[in-house]
Amino acid sequence: MTARQPDSINELNQVAPILAEATKVLQRAHGPHLQTITIERLVVGVFFVGLKLSTGEGGVAYTPPEAVKNAGRRILRGGSPTVRGMQVSSILAGELVHPFSGVIRLATLNALSVPLFAHGCYSLDGGDDLSTMDTLFRGRRVCMVGAIIPLLRRLKDLQPAEVTIIDRKKETEEEAQAGYGTFVPPEQTAVALKNCQTAIFTGATVANGSISELLALTPSDTAIAVVGPSAGFVPDPLFARKVAMVGTSMITDIDRALDLLAEGGGGYRLFDGCVRKINLPNLLRLQQLGLVQAC
């Protein structure tokens, strides 16, 4: 058994109530001011969708290949609405009818979360690539769903007991065979998660709508980390589902980031001066797992 791939990114509304809960958190946090915020610029890139708000903050989200495929059919049948100038409250309410509406919504949530992180509303750990959260990985059996090769390289430095990698991309399997871990087919997802001590889900699992099923497959005593730029929204709904840590990023130079995306750039270029990496630890869950000392 493996996590189902949604036929359309719009299925996020059904597959991931996580986003609906994040929306409520942000609506409470921003209050009436939310009604005044609009989309200043939108870029639908090859690998990421990025947008800038009228407040100056920005967010990005991974563009799943299935969303691109479905969008191509829709675009040929008719035009897409102009998103620039649209109120973010309308996007959060699901009123945007667009081939990439689900990804745009996720990028909007990520952008709206930036000021909450910047103003200290959450405990931030500024460690680079999980290094300050090494108790989640060192000496443990780790399963990563949705491989990020630079993260696999960093994970190797943290010396886990073993690493199992699940990804549909053939090129990921080829790189995994270079010594980063053992590659298993998606059909073995349930078995791999059952046997691991730490599960890593990339932000792509949020963007493609599979994270809810993956969380359901993960045993209750497993430490869970959700990692990647697409997971840059307020962590409350993930923490409520016993996620121990969110490793993500804040966009620090949205204009440059959007320029890079418009030229077909991906994650490697975004991390070259456009973002600040952050870790969001769920201290209560880490204490329950015995991975940090209770205060």
Tens of pLDDT, residue by residue over 12-55, are: 444 468 999 999 999 999 999 999 999 999 999 888 999 999 99
| pLDDT-derived band at 293, boundaries 50, 70, 90 | low
Q: Enter the DSSP assignment of 92.
A: H
Confidence bin at 72 (pLDDT 50/70/90): low
Length of the chain: 295
| Domain annotation covers residue 48 | yes
Please state, in angstroms and as integers, the Cα–Cα distance from residue 26 to each residue in 2, 30, 44, 142, 233, following that order: 31, 6, 24, 32, 9
Domain that holds residue 186: 131-250+276-288
Instruction: Give yes or no for residue 177 having a pLDDT over 80.
Output: no
Domain total of the chain: 2
Q: What is the CATH number of the domain that holds 74?
A: 3.30.390
Model confidence at 104, pLDDT cuts 50, 70, 90, reads very high
Q: Is the pLDDT of residue 138 over 90?
A: yes
Instruction: Give 124's Cβ-side CA count (13 Å radius).
Output: 19
Query: Which of 17-26, 31-40, 61-70, 244-253 shows the lowest per-residue confidence on average (mean pLDDT)?
Result: 61-70
Nearest residue to 103 via CA among 19, 25, 163: 19
Query: What is the percent of the chain with per-residue pLDDT over 90, rounded to a whole number?
Result: 61
Residue at 4 is within a domain: no
Residue of 109 and 102 predicted with greater confidence: 109
- Judge if 113 and 205 occupy the same domain: no
Tell me the mean pLDDT in the region 92-102. Answer: 89
State yes or no: pLDDT of 110 exceeds 80. yes
User: What's the pLDDT score for residue 64?
Assistant: 84
One domain, residues 112 and 164: no
- Same domain? 105 vs 232: no
In a domain, 124, yes or no: no
Q: Is residue 262 part of a domain?
A: no
| More reliable by pLDDT, 149 or 291 | 291
Residues 100 and 48 in one domain: yes
Q: Kindly report the pTM of this predicted structure.
A: 0.89
- Strand locations in 169-267, DSSP E? 182-184, 198-202, 223-227, 245-251
